[in-house]
Amino acid sequence: MSIKSLPERGRASCRGYVSAITVVPVNDPPRFTAVVEDSMAEYRENPATARAKVRLVWVGQRRVPGIEAGTCLAFEGMVSTVDGRPTIFNPRYEIIGRPEADA
């Protein structure tokens, strides 16, 4: 399933590339957020097309080993919409590939 076709609510699994991560300040409750873009998106052929994105949030974690910008992930979990963006809290994930600089 592509990120573009995620349901508004319900269980889903797909894959994509981490485009951004957010680390919260020390004073905030711990959580680690990664924004994942669709790995099968048409925008690679047509840059004018909007990129489909999903937010993955690990509650209680300040860092998730292996998750960094450029990492390809397969993930699954319950989708909900938060601030207009599909969001999955505490997803199951598998690292498919890492940025070449780390290889």
Q: What's the pLDDT score for residue 64? A: 92
Q: What's the pLDDT score for residue 20? A: 93
Per-residue buried b or exposed e for 64-87, using 16+ beta carbons within 10 Å of the residue's own CB: eeebeeebbbebbbebeeeeeebb
Distance CA 48, CA 10 (A): 30
How many C-alpha atoms does 50 have within 13 Å on its Cβ side? 5
pLDDT band at 34 (very low <50, low <70, confident <90, very high): very high
Mean pLDDT of 77-90: 93
Q: What's the pLDDT score for residue 40? A: 55
Q: What's the pLDDT score for residue 77? A: 95
Q: What's the pLDDT score for residue 3? A: 81
Mean pLDDT of 81-90: 93
Q: What's the pLDDT score for residue 94? A: 95
Query: Which is nearest to 8 in space by CA: 82, 73, 76?
Result: 82
pLDDT band at 35 (very low <50, low <70, confident <90, very high): very high
